[in-house]
Amino acid sequence: MAPTSCEIDTRLLNEFQRDAPVVSNPFAEIGARLGITEDDVLTRLGALRERGAVTRFGATCRPNTAGASTLAALAAPDWDVERVAEMINAYPGVNHSYLREHEWNLWFVVTGPDRAHVNKVLAEIGEETGLRVLDLRLVQAFNIDLGFDLSGAKAVAPRAPRPVPSRSPDPNERRVLQTLSTGLPLVPRPFAEVASAIGIAEAEALEITRRMVAEGFVTRFGVIVRHRALGWRANAMVVWEIPPEEVSQFGPELARLPGVTLCYQRQSVPGAWPYTLFNMIHGRSREDAMEVLDAARALPGLGAYRHEVLFSSRCFRQTGALIHAGQGGAV
């Protein structure tokens, strides 16, 4: 029996969130693997994007390698959340923003080509809103390969970590990374269009992309999905108050726990935010998410530390990072 249209969409979303083919005609190769035509793949991706199930076909980039980024938060009055969120999202480089159930309720990621850009955006947001902004800088990442299994499994074990880049990208590499982060055009030869816009040959754009993946600048290349639209509506950020020098004892094991989708250490803010170890849990329900948290609490020694659970109640923005100034990005 031939697969249904829904089954094909599920395979397209499930099998190509990472390690998509980096070739001149990637959608033709994807189609060959799925048993459909290149045009069908492009039509399906376009429709999925229109429905909000997919943000883009492109890449997620390792934080603070090609550019700079930080996680930030502020405490907006409940009656003013919409206006403050609109202010935040107007700034270039704000690529994720969420409303979470906590006194510090608006959480957002600021990205940019360098730390000076990030600092400037944070300062301007604080000045415009009149609210204190927490700058929770990344110290080390234990798991940043966020993906979603559509097979029905509640908790999927994270993949092995990718290499960490040992250098900075050159200007052309930055331009390609920006295009990958923003999303490739849904055309038969997307890398040819990317190359033409940047002023390089298609072969060079392909080689740069393969190099960026191999060296770890790119953490995932393929279909970037919207988890809420696909059923993962219980998004919990769990924060743990652990002395910075002890975080490495717990981070790797927490990151390996099935159901933990992201895990990293961030700087605390004395007097305002004592938490240093962060992990994300994306569940189809709160009950599913809390099952994963119970497993985390049961890890040797971890449950003894103070922690809080911040469920998100709304997603205001989810897009690619700003890496190369003047080339678009998170808008």
Q: Please report the pLDDT score of residue 6 as a whole number.
A: 87
Rounded to an integer, the average pLDDT of 140-159 is 66
- d(C-alpha 97, C-alpha 71), whole Å: 10
β-pairing, 68-74 vs 94-100, is: unpaired
Q: Are 106 and 81 in contact (CB under 8 A)?
A: yes
Q: Please report the pLDDT score of residue 73 as a whole number.
A: 98
Rounded to an integer, the average pLDDT of 156-170 is 75
Going by pLDDT thresholds of 50, 70 and 90, the confidence category of residue 158 is low
CATH of 68-158+228-318, one of 3.40.50.620, 3.30.70.3460, 3.40.920.10, 3.30.70.100: 3.30.70.3460
C-alpha torsion 30→13→183→263, nearest 10: -130
- d(C-alpha 138, C-alpha 70), whole Å: 7
- d(C-alpha 259, C-alpha 150), whole Å: 13
Rounded to an integer, the average pLDDT of 115-141 is 97
Q: Taking 90 as the threshold, does the pLDDT of residue 159 lie above it? A: no
Residues of the chain with CATH 3.30.70.3460: 68-158+228-318
- d(C-alpha 215, C-alpha 237), whole Å: 29
Mean pLDDT highest for which of 6-10, 69-73, 317-321, 324-328? 69-73
Q: Please report the pLDDT score of residue 329 as a whole number.
A: 43
- Answer yes or no: CATH 1.10.1240.10 is held by domain 5-56+164-224: no
Q: Please report the pLDDT score of residue 202 as a whole number.
A: 98
**Bigger pLDDT: 304 or 162?**
304
Q: Please report the pLDDT score of residue 63 as a whole number.
A: 87
Of 39-43, 206-210, 219-223, the range with the lowest mean pLDDT is: 219-223
Rounded to an integer, the average pLDDT of 109-135 is 97
Q: Please report the pLDDT score of residue 50 as a whole number.
A: 94
Going by pLDDT thresholds of 50, 70 and 90, the confidence category of residue 1 is very low
- d(C-alpha 237, C-alpha 308), whole Å: 8
Q: Please report the pLDDT score of residue 207 as a whole number.
A: 98
Q: Are 300 and 246 in contact (CB under 8 A)?
A: no
Helices (H) then strands (E): counts for the chain? 10, 11
Going by pLDDT thresholds of 50, 70 and 90, the confidence category of residue 142 is very high
* Bridge partner residues of 225 (DSSP): 54
Residues of the chain with CATH 1.10.10.2890: 5-56+164-224
Sequence-distant (6+) residues with CB within 8 A of 50 are none
Q: Are 109 and 70 in contact (CB under 8 A)?
A: yes
**Bigger pLDDT: 163 or 96?**
96
Where in the chain does DSSP place strands (E)?
Answer: 54-61, 68-74, 94-100, 106-112, 134-136, 138-143, 218-225, 234-240, 260-266, 277-283, 307-318
Going by pLDDT thresholds of 50, 70 and 90, the confidence category of residue 146 is low
* Bridge partner residues of 314 (DSSP): 99
Q: Please report the pLDDT score of residue 324 as a whole number.
A: 84
- Say if residue 304 is exposed, middle or buried (CB neighbours under 10 Å; 0-12, 13-18, 19+): exposed
Q: Please report the pLDDT score of residue 150 as a whole number.
A: 64
Q: Please report the pLDDT score of residue 233 as a whole number.
A: 85
Q: What is the pLDDT of residues 261-301, one digit of tens each?
A: 899 999 999 999 999 999 999 998 999 999 999 999 999 99
